[in-house]
Structure 1
Amino acid sequence: MSNEQGFLRISIAATVVVAALGIFFGILSGSFSIAFDGVYSLADAAMTGLALWVSSLIVQSARNDAKSGRIRNRFTMGFWHLEPIVLLLNGCLLVTVAVYALINAIISIINGGHELHFGAAIVYSGATLVVCAIMAGIGAAVNRRLKSDFIALDIKAWIMSGGIAFALLVAFIIGLAVQPTSLVWIARYVDPVVLGLVCLVMIPIPITTIWKALSEILLIAPVDLQEHVDRVASDTVRRLGFLSYRAYVARVGRATEIELYFIVPEGLPPKRLEEWDALRDEIGAAIGDESVNRWLTIAFTADVEWAE
């Protein structure tokens, strides 16, 4: 688990196991909520697999071997744009599954609920809760170093699954406890009610991820990055006697994209290309965050139309 791909592979394997158990125990116990948890986990595993593929493409394209060279020749703008697309699809899929389950829960409540085998349901909920807690804890530890959006979303999915498992466990224990009492009628409603409550809690959780991914797809300029680049560009204009500048910034997945155009006075004394390159290096160093994930373009022109 030393890198993003390693953790995602293990997460996919664990998710598939939980999904298979969820579907099996959902059928065995007659629980819609457990079956939903299994289907939710399968959807999450599929999207994590897609995230792993995109992450591998991004890492591969940054290498200097022959295969990476062929990839870059076909995809000269890189693969960063795929990252927010995957995050958007993932978030929308989780919300869609939760909304569908909520509708089924409401229909089940209206129809008087259904019988449930609480023993099998409790075994599944307890085991799933343990797995989710372990995976979320490991993911949080790994991501403190990697700071990956994919791992962050995967951790959120494990926390959501753990919350589902905990809610199911509590509800099933209550349902089992009321069976010998006069409140036995409640047991028929335990499964759909807890499913509905879990869905209501789950639906808003991916909204932040969806909005962040959508803002990156639409290339909305992040306020902090825009202000930082404006400070660097303004200082350069003032220090070197340029007329003005135009700055275009965006964050797309793990990439930072910056285009800077400086408007210089007409008739400016000529400089050697090496001097302009040195100035670009100076401005790039002031902007910071130099890595394979920074796409920085700096141009100088006396014609403002080239910068618009």
Structure 2
Amino acid sequence: MSEVRYLKLSFCVTLLVAAMGIVIGLYSGSAAIAFDGVYSLVDAAMTLLALFVSRLIGLSTQQGGKAAALHARFNQGVWHLEPLVVAFDGMMLIGIAGYAFVNAIMGIAEGGQEVDLVPALTYATLTCMLCFGMFSYGRRLNKRLGSDLVALDVKGWLMSASITAALLVAFVGGLVMRYFGAEQWIPFIDPVVLAVVSLAIIPVPLREVRQAVREILQLTPQELRAHVEAVARKYVQEQGYAGHYAYVAEIGRAVQIELWFVLPPDAPALPMPHWDALRDRIGAEIGGDNDHRWLTIVFTGQREWAQ
């Protein structure tokens, strides 16, 4: 299955979970289930946005037709859209979780709320199975795809599965309380589990937002920079150049590399095939996915052009 087809499947299943959560949450009186439904609804919207960006990125690696119009509008590719989507998605989820936590605290202060445990348990069981199933399938698939968008979606399914698993445990605990005659504590189950879940899920999108912001700001990935520098130093020594300058950025699934070699003043004039063959050798040693690599290799005799 391709990235686009997986995201379509994920969108449909997420929409189903969202509808179930909102309807059953309102019917059973559970704010935690309603939160789960709203969370899934926002996740579905973000999956749809991720699907759109994924199709654009795929189109940007093609030639002719619609790809030509895309290249004309985005000369340097559309990879920058990927971290933007990831950052926006993460901030939306953090905002929803924060709002849910405040509501949960207010619910506890007001004495909790009654919840119909039977439909709540049914929802938690079915949703937990769906979420863990999508998480397992997406994780296996992304071992082959290596997509940031699929990875984000898989983490979203893990978060949803964790939320519903916590709900399931809490509602089972409610039945146990009812069995042992501790019914006075049952109204507190829903707001307490909502508070715990909303706090627990915030760190996951927070890490995604942090990484996405690093890519948006084009902070240099040190491991890739070290590799490019090692390749460049090898050719400076081999060819007798005066030095080099390397500029590296990672944006989503793409890497952008500019490599400038400074030639000595007495360097002989060589035919263009020589420079092209040298670029091919350097590019091969740097490696990476050609469809998602923006590599520029320049040879100059003036150091100020490279700085």
Report what 1:160 is aligned to: 159
Return the TM-score normalized by structure 2.
Answer: 0.98
Give the secondary-structure state (helix, strand or coil) at the position aligned to 2:203: coil
Give the secondary-structure state (helix, strand or coil) at the position aligned to 2:105: helix
Give the secondary-structure state (helix, strand or coil) at the position aligned to 1:292: helix
Tell me if 1:292 matches 2:291. yes
Tell me if 1:43 matches 2:42. yes
Give the secondary-structure state (helix, strand or coil) at the position aligned to 1:299: strand
Q: 1:267 Cα deviation (Å)?
A: 2.4
Aligned residue runs from structure 1 range 1-308, under 5 A: 2-308=1-307
Q: Which amino acid aligns with 2:204?
A: I
- Out of 189-198 and 277-286, give the one that drifted further: 277-286
Q: 1:180 Cα deviation (Å)?
A: 4.4
Task: Supply the distance in 1 between the matched residues of 2:104 and 2:66 (Cα, whole angstroms).
Answer: 50
Q: 1:137 Cα deviation (Å)?
A: 1.1
Unaligned residue ranges in structure 2 (runs of 5+): none
Task: Supply the distance in 2 between the matched residues of 1:181 and 1:55 (Cα, whole angstroms).
Answer: 53
Task: Supply the distance in 2 between the matched residues of 1:230 and 1:179 (Cα, whole angstroms).
Answer: 67
Q: 1:292 Cα deviation (Å)?
A: 1.2
Give the secondary-structure state (helix, strand or coil) at the position aligned to 1:114: coil
Aligned length: 307
Q: 1:141 Cα deviation (Å)?
A: 1.6
Q: 1:285 Cα deviation (Å)?
A: 1.0
Aligned-residue identity in percent: 46
Task: Supply the distance in 2 between the matched residues of 1:169 and 1:200 (Cα, whole angstroms).
Answer: 17
Task: Supply the distance in 1 between the matched residues of 2:32 and 2:65 (Cα, whole angstroms).
Answer: 50
CA RMSD of aligned residues (A): 0.9
**Greater than 4 Å deviation, 4+ residue runs:** none
Q: Which amino acid aligns with 2:48?
A: G
User: How far does the alpha carbon of each residue in 1:11-40 deviate from its partner, in whole angstroms, 9 at most, with x for none?
Assistant: 000000000000000011000000000000
User: How far does the alpha carbon of each residue in 1:129-151 deviate from its partner, in whole angstroms, 9 at most, with x for none?
Assistant: 01101111111121111011111
User: How far does the alpha carbon of each residue in 1:223-263 deviate from its partner, in whole angstroms, 9 at most, with x for none?
Assistant: 11000000000111111111111100011111111000111
Give the secondary-structure state (helix, strand or coil) at the position aligned to 1:115: coil
Q: Which amino acid aligns with 1:247?
A: A
Give the secondary-structure state (helix, strand or coil) at the position aligned to 2:269: coil
Task: Supply the distance in 1 between the matched residues of 2:289 and 2:101 (Cα, whole angstroms).
Answer: 46
Task: Supply the distance in 1 between the matched residues of 2:232 and 2:243 (Cα, whole angstroms).
Answer: 9
Task: Supply the distance in 2 between the matched residues of 1:71 and 1:205 (Cα, whole angstroms).
Answer: 33
Q: Which amino acid aligns with 2:106?
A: I
